[in-house]
Amino acid sequence: MPALFRLLALLASLITAPAWAEVTATDILGREVTLDAPAGRIVLGEGRHMAVLGLLHDDPVSKVVGWRQDKALDEPTLAAYRERFPMIDAIRPVGSGNRDISVESIIALDPDLLVLSLMDAGDPGMERAREQVEAAGIPVAYVDFFSKPLENSIPSLRILGALTGGEAKAEEFAQFYETRLSRIRERLEDPSIQRPRVFFHVHAAPQGCCSTVGQGVFAQFIETAGGRNIGAEAVQGVLGNVSLEFLIGADPDYYIATGGAHMAARGGLVLGTGVAEDAAGDSFARLIAAPGFSSLRAVEEGRAAGVWHLFNDTPSHIALIEYLAQSFHPELFTDVDPAATLAEIDARFSPVTVPGTWWVAPQP
């Protein structure tokens, strides 16, 4: 009889135990990543990807045990997460500097997944770190929301969904995103549509003009929204500098500046999370009133705007693309509401809401 009781107890435990199955996904580099079960102890190679994980899970903080402080959550977003999820302060740092990560700290946390960025791939130090982490039996997956956002953001979201048990939310967001992206692309298919020449002034300040984009990231947003990136005429890589004389001589149809709270110390464009609309408007007004900028035809004719720089590493950039498309081709996108798109992302997907100002234009 005792043997029978033990057998019955074993069968009962098997029936009631969680039936986790092995999960496999192909990461953004084409590497197959296999986990024994959906990841519940994750180390993030970029702290700000907590907000991406938040698109997939009601409590993303409970799944993260470590994160690299380089490219961390901005302070207002961190505060919003801390208010709802106080345990966020228990997440351990595993590196602080650019492309710096501590293998020892990662292994000590006993994670079941390390998530790295495409920007880490090819870096010799990061390659050695990845090899050591994998040698310790910890799977590593690469994602990308920055280098090639149009190609890689939704595949990366699906990768994270597959590896963390968030497939349903990943697919829901993918449909939300792709519906809006398709609307923009379809309306701009006509080759006769005139594409305005656009200058993107990144980390914009009146002094030290001008950092701009050549390819990737914001350049993709410009092209997708129906513009032509004139920064590519002078910058071969992703980011480079041109002179104020170049900008004036280029005479863009649209001048778009990016900024954030980090630009306050330089007297530049301040907007984004935690920034009130009037403060953002004041900083933008000072920028376009500066010598050189004030004489741009785009500024004089009201075709200038400021946008939040940190749209550059989140799939929420779909709202920025809508904003740019509506700016460049207002007659084609009268029914598009980028602010409503952000509000819907907050309501349907994000576990926290962070107030702020995401774009600003001159007051009439």
User: Which pLDDT score is estimated for 350?
Assistant: 97
φ/ψ of residue 302, rounded to 5 = 75, 25
User: Which pLDDT score is estimated for 20?
Assistant: 54
**Domain presence at residue 9:** no
User: Which pLDDT score is estimated for 3?
Assistant: 45
Final residue of a domain: which of 183, 212, 232?
183
**Domain presence at residue 191:** no
Which helix (H) or strand (E) segment holds residue 321: the answer is: helix 317-328
Own/partner contacts of 76-79, CB < 8 Å, gap of 24 or more, are 76/261, 76/273, 76/274, 76/354, 76/355, 76/356, 77/48, 77/51, 77/273, 77/352, 77/354
**Domain presence at residue 171:** yes
User: Which pLDDT score is estimated for 363?
Assistant: 62
Q: Looking at the structure, do residues 234 and 157 belong to the same domain, yes or no?
A: no
Q: Looking at the structure, do residues 349 and 218 belong to the same domain, yes or no?
A: yes
User: Which pLDDT score is estimated for 122?
Assistant: 83
Final residue of a domain: which of 159, 183, 207?
183
Q: Looking at the structure, do residues 309 and 204 belong to the same domain, yes or no?
A: yes
Instruction: Give the C-alpha separation, 77 to 84, whole Å.
Output: 11
**Domain presence at residue 344:** yes
Q: Looking at the structure, do residues 113 and 203 belong to the same domain, yes or no?
A: no
Which CATH number is 274's domain given? 3.40.50.1980
Q: What is the pLDDT of residues 260-305, one digit of tens each?
A: 999 999 999 999 999 999 999 999 999 999 999 999 999 999 999 9
- Check if the beta carbon of residue 271 is closer than 8 Å to that of residue 359: yes
Q: How many domains does the chain have?
A: 2
Q: Looking at the structure, do residues 205 and 316 belong to the same domain, yes or no?
A: yes
Integer Rg of the chain from CA: 23
User: Which pLDDT score is estimated for 364?
Assistant: 54
Give the global pTM: 0.91
**Domain presence at residue 4:** no
Final residue of a domain: which of 161, 183, 205?
183
Q: Looking at the structure, do residues 131 and 227 belong to the same domain, yes or no?
A: no
Q: Can you list the residues of the chain whose pLDDT is less than 50?
A: 1-18
What DSSP state is assigned to residue 174? H
**Domain presence at residue 3:** no
Residues 6+ apart with CB under 8 A from 151: none
Q: Looking at the structure, do residues 78 and 113 belong to the same domain, yes or no?
A: yes
Q: Looking at the structure, do residues 27 and 166 belong to the same domain, yes or no?
A: yes
**Domain presence at residue 8:** no
